[in-house]
Amino acid sequence: MTGQRVVVPGGETGHVEVRAGQLVEVVNTLGGQVVDTWFFSLEDPDEYTSMSHSRAAMRTLRPRVGDSFVTRSRRPIVTLRADTSPGVHDMTMPPCDPWRYAQLDARGHRNCADNLRAVLRDTGRKCPDVLPDPLNLFQNSPADADGHIEFLESPAAAGATVRFEALRDLLVVVSACPMDIMPINGGQPREIELVALEPDEEPE
């Protein structure tokens, strides 16, 4: 589907389907929001973005414009075409899940893992036994020289947009991360937008 704009409230999930060659944008509407993002092939339920394989293919921990994400079979599935944010994204962290919130004394908290499962269930798609790690758009979790990882507020400004080109027919799933205990979302999950476009609709 193209020409579709999905408004995703903070903490919730959304999805669109796009065909090969179409574009999809993730918009940080109000700024400061981390967006867990997954790309699944519509043709093969076992083909979806793999962050570990993509890191090896890109030879970087942060994607750059022109980089292509790959599947576990190392096949390109989607390419980053534009990024108006500072380019701070994470390719190493799993989605927040019930066990993470149990560790934080917040049992029953909404989480990105269950958000993904809900979309896959509602769209009639196979859910992997082990959920794939997301591309954590706008997440600021750098490692220092000693390897210590920090969880900092996102530097993404209001309206910051990341644009991808689908290399295959895809289901695109996003979760406006519900984390409100650690500082990555500034303590308050915020609304985002997911937009599907034709190439000739690409903004100048």
pLDDT for 199 equals 86
Residue 112 banded pLDDT, cuts 50, 70, 90: very high
Residue 157 has pLDDT above 60, yes or no: yes
pLDDT for 200 equals 76
Summarize the confidence of residues 147-176 as an average pLDDT.
Answer: 98
Tell me the average pLDDT of the chain: 96
Give percent of the chain above pLDDT 70: 98
pLDDT in tens, 52-108: 999 999 999 999 999 999 999 999 999 999 999 999 999 999 999 999 999 999 999
Q: Cβ atoms within 10 A of the Cβ of 74, count?
A: 11
SS3 letters across 66-77:
CCEEEECCCCEE
CA distance 59 to 101: 32
Give percent of the chain above pLDDT 90: 93
Residue 204 has pLDDT above 60, yes or no: no
pTM (2 d.p.): 0.95
pLDDT for 1 equals 45
pLDDT for 80 equals 99
Tokens of 19: 């065909």
